[in-house]
Chains A and B, each alone.
Chain A
Amino acid sequence: MGNLSVQEASLIEQSKSGNIESFEQLVISHQKKMFNIAFRMLGNLEDANDVTQEALIKAYRGINSFNGKSSFSTWLYTIVNNASIDFIRKNKKNKTVYLDREYESAEGTHKIEVACHGDTPEEVLEKKEVRRVIEEAIKELSEDHRRIIVLRDIEQFTYAEIAQILDCSEGTVKSRINRARKILKVIIMEKLKN
């Protein structure tokens, strides 16, 4: 358990034997970030509250399975991230067609390349304008692309942390970030054109 401080390790042990106060102390400095991850993934405060609470209960129930391979906070962020994805998939009443999906087809990939490297140069984006539409644009990303943008660009996790959260290699993280940003850029440009 090299990733843990002495105090954290002791609080984890106490939580394992059912001490609620120790568990609360253990998660208090991480719950706001957990809530923000859920909020950016789900888009509304009520669902974010439910999912974060549920994720914390899952963490409490499963604290015996925490093996210390990652830091405790990364473990919590993994749980809330997965809980958010589960929530989205479970609550898809009508099959949502995300705007970025159309760019994933063979034709769509071509469209991204044209958009980024067309004969005509890109128009320079105004930061003020981007700020106005970026939150809406993120909501239009598919859940997989959205979680990459949320983890890297909003919550500022490192590539190594994202690799742990998504259980993949850093190389995969690198290419996923690249792809998700490209799609986000296309959505933002489309939004600003309209």
Chain B
Amino acid sequence: MNCKDFDLLASANIDNMLSNEERMEFENHLEICETCNIAYKNLETIISSASEIEEVELPSKFSSELRSRLEKETKVNKTFSSKMKTWTSIAAGLLIILASISLLSNYLELKKKPNLISEIENSSNYEGNDTYGITMDKNQESLDAESIDEDEANLKESYTSNQEQKKEINMASMTKRSIDEEVAIAPDEEVPPQSNNKLKSNLLKISISALLLAILVFINKTKTKRGYFKHIK
């Protein structure tokens, strides 16, 4: 071992971080090299002086200051969460109103076309009495049953989720019901197969609205519980 190696190991030896072999070589060098011996003793003196530096006490008002800052922090969180709640409720309401308007306007458009409806009345494909609405896929041959089932499932899922969140947004289920009513107006009216696309698009709109509502409620619930979202790569 030379003086340079010794210099590299001196600090680790003070902290007992050398292997037995390294330590033996180190100690042998220490015995034969006076310069390194003094350098090592000086390093020891410095490290032991540093360890004897006295701890300072916490300021007397430390705990009370911390308490008031923590309370302020919790208050800010609550205010933020209640503001979030209000805004998500408003946003959810607007979404549902938009979806309802769009649905209603499409329905009124259909009503303006009596010729189209009479054609359907004569159509052999028309079976008549079944309830038309969200479960209408039964009497619409050309309707993509699978897609509607999917939409229906989405709706049911979102609806269940809405019910669970009743406390946060009571409005959700109420508005949801109004959509159902609007959709339920349709059974007496005959719907042409050509309008299936419009119907599907309406159902899709409802599904998206309900999904968005569920997401908003989820975000709101997470904030209330002081939860957070994490992006996992």
A interface residue numbers (CB < 8 A to B): 16-18, 20, 23-24, 31-32, 35-36, 39-40, 45, 48-49, 52-53, 56-57, 60-61, 64-65, 113, 116-118, 121-127, 130-131, 134-135, 138, 149, 152-154, 156, 159, 174, 177-178, 181-182, 184-185, 188-189
Contact = CB atoms under 8 A, between A and B. Distances in A.
A141 to B, nearest CB: 11
Most buried by A among B34, B59, B230: B59
Contacts of A24: 63, 66-67, 70
Main secondary structure of the interface of A (DSSP, over half): helix
B12 A174 contact: yes
A32 B7 CA distance: 35
Given A36-B56, A64-B228, A177 B51 contact: no
The 8 closest A-B pairs by CB, nearest first: A153-B50, A178-B11, A130-B49, A125-B42, A122-B38, A20-B70, A121-B35, A131-B49
Most buried by A among B17, B49, B67: B49
A121 B38 contact: yes
B52 to A, nearest CB: 7
B45 A17 contact: no
B163 interface: no
A187 to B, nearest CB: 10
Interface in B46-95: 46-53, 55-59, 62-63, 65-67, 69-71, 73-74, 77
Contacts of A184: 46, 50
A117 B3 contact: yes
Contacts of A18: 74, 77, 226
A60 B73 contact: yes
B70 A16 contact: no
Contact of B7 (A36, A117, A118, A188): A117
18 contacts: A17-B225, A20-B71, A24-B66, A32-B58, A49-B59, A52-B62, A57-B70, A64-B226, A116-B39, A117-B35, A124-B38, A125-B41, A153-B51, A174-B12, A178-B8, A181-B47, A182-B7, A189-B42
Contacts of B15: 152, 159, 177
Contact of B56 (A31, A45, A181): A45
